[in-house]
Structure 1
Amino acid sequence: MKPRWRGAFLYPTVLVGLFLGLQGILGLAGVPLNQQPAIAAVPSLAALMLSLPWRLRRAWGEARPWRRLGVRASWPALLTSLLQGLLLAAALLLLIVVTLLVAGAQWEWQLTPPLLLNGLALGLGVGFTEELLFRGWLLGELTLLLGHGRALWLQALLFSLVHTRFDLPPAELLPLLGGLLLFGVVLAQLRQGDHGVLWGAIGLHGGAVGGWFLLSQGLLNLSGTGPAWLLNTANPIGGLMGWAGLGLLLAVLRARPVNQCTAVASAARPDTGARRDS
């Protein structure tokens, strides 16, 4: 069974509309602007979790939606994939931190329990939600419509564009969008190498986001660390060193041997090109 383009556009539009509409309602209710996204994200995530199985059953003809999305797998496959993603995130951040220290950053060690909880919640929330949406649903839907090769690059491009920051000058925005596109390719490649299990991508994405938040807010003084094109301290994948780190990760992922643990996962090799309903 093959989905239709109309539904592929309409489904995320409704979810985004719900998220933005809830923020508007919260604004009318007097909720501060900086608190609106976090509050609106809770019912929006609930809507995503409830609607995704329905979408896969209706448009993909999939009887086991959570397994097809890569969320459900055997425990060895899940834990191995998640740990691998976290280790890759740590390696990427280590490269960036070493470069920052050479460029003049200083350790400041100002971590607090609220900051740690904030970083953990940010990593888990962003990592799980965005991977479920982009490398779970979107990559799968585009694969059914276009084939895996074109779907991999298109989902990465859309992932990059939805993170556009209009407050940045073009000289900073364009490298950031390029870094996000490369990050989207790396995350999709990681899921493909894990035979469709999504938790490695969740670990890499969430570990990178939450880890950078803790480093930049509580562990490093980033003043005077060089030009943004080399070391973008707002988002490190928008600088040359971030690009270099992602390029190394992509090379490693494409050269790695098959993960024997995830190979025996009971997922039906979703969204890797091995199975396509057409």
Structure 2
Amino acid sequence: MLIPALYGLGWMLTQPLLLVLPETTASRLSLIGTALSLVLFVVILPSWVRQRWSSRQPWRILGLRSRRQGPSSGRCLMTGLVQSVGLLTLISLPLIVGSWGRWLGELSAADALNALALCFGVGLAEELLFRGWLWGELAQFTRPRTAVVTQAVIFSLVHTRFNLDVLPMLGLLVGLTLLGLVLAVQRRLNDGSLWGCVGLHGGLVGGWFALQGGLLQISPSAPQWLIGPGGAHPNPLGGLVGIAALTVVLALQLTALAKAPRP
């Protein structure tokens, strides 16, 4: 109930703003409420981890502070960003080769800033929530593998658009679940650091925004199985290419994890 309670509190705190804000700003009240909820979440998180998880180092156990013997935060972040570029390249190439897309390479300063904000804002916020707090909560009362799968399923359900037809919706559920698993295994490979997940997740979100914002012109006739469901705002992770790419990445990660030395 923590997240719904914080979201409700953030919404309540924004309501007095209706009296003083102009209509154009008041229409963005939901976004302001979400930002307030996130701030409240970050403020209470250290105390929550200390009391419920019995940890004296909340930011380290959440993955925001790297372990001394593990890879640095900057290295993990850069690795995740490079992985996101690779995945987006795999998704974009069939569009260009199949004549459903044309490389423009144009991006306005405003769109570039929005892409960066999405990359680091959404990446950090959602990874702290799902691969940080939620995974840690689930690990308190379930088996490790159950916690990994459950956080991925919840992540998928939260992001899936249930107004889609059955097959596109199932494709999106599968793709997002795979992404949740990939991000969880990435954190394991990074010795608990969350920054690799931030780079990979944020890079996918910000990178796809940049591609649609002017770098790549996508034809309206691009097939849904390739570009993913969503119509004018497709999510490529729900397409066959996205699902296949994530499956390969997950298989490679699990192989690397199996070969990694045990602590």
Distance 1:14 1:87, change over 3 A: same
Q: Structure 1 CA distance, aligned partners of 2:32 and 2:179?
A: 27
What CA deviation, in whole Å up to 9, does each residue of 1:41-64 have, x standing for no partner? 332221111011111111111111
Matches within 5 A, 1:72-221: 72-73=65-66, 74=68, 77-103=72-98, 104-221=100-217
Q: Structure 2 CA distance, aligned partners of 1:37 and 1:223?
A: 32
Give me the TM-score of the superposition, normalised by structure 1.
Answer: 0.83
Q: Structure 2 CA distance, aligned partners of 1:157 and 1:128?
A: 19
Q: Structure 2 CA distance, aligned partners of 1:259 and 1:22?
A: 50
Distance 1:164 1:20, change over 3 A: farther
1:40 matched to 2:38? The reply is no
Q: Structure 1 CA distance, aligned partners of 2:118 and 2:37?
A: 16
Residue identity opposite 1:17 in structure 2:
G
What residue in structure 1 maps to residue 48 of structure 2?
55
Give me the TM-score of the superposition, normalised by structure 2.
Answer: 0.87
Comparing 232-241 with 125-134, which one deviates more in the overlay? 232-241
Partner SS state of residue 72, structure 2? helix
What CA deviation, in whole Å up to 9, does each residue of 1:105-124 have, x standing for no partner? 01223301111000000111
Residue identity opposite 1:65 in structure 2:
P
The sequence identity of aligned pairs, in percent, is: 42
Q: Structure 1 CA distance, aligned partners of 2:15 and 2:162?
A: 20
Q: Structure 2 CA distance, aligned partners of 1:163 and 1:222?
A: 23
Check whether the contact 1:186–1:249 (CA below 8 A) recurs between aligned residues: yes
What residue in structure 2 maps to residue 236 of structure 1?
236
Which one scores higher on RCO, CA 8 angstroms, separation ≥ 6? Answer: 1
5+ residue gaps in structure 1?
1-9, 264-268
Residue identity opposite 2:29 in structure 1:
Q
What CA deviation, in whole Å up to 9, does each residue of 1:67-115 have, x standing for no partner? 0000012595211211111111111011001011123201223301111
Cα drift, residue 147 of structure 1? 1.7
1:227 matched to 2:219? The reply is no
5+ residue gaps in structure 2?
none
| Backbone CA RMSD of aligned residues | 2.5
What residue in structure 2 maps to residue 13 of structure 1?
4
Q: Structure 2 CA distance, aligned partners of 1:101 and 1:225?
A: 13
Check whether the contact 1:105–1:225 (CA below 8 A) recurs between aligned residues: no
Q: Structure 2 CA distance, aligned partners of 1:117 and 1:101?
A: 25
What CA deviation, in whole Å up to 9, does each residue of 1:204-223 have, x standing for no partner? 00001000100011111111
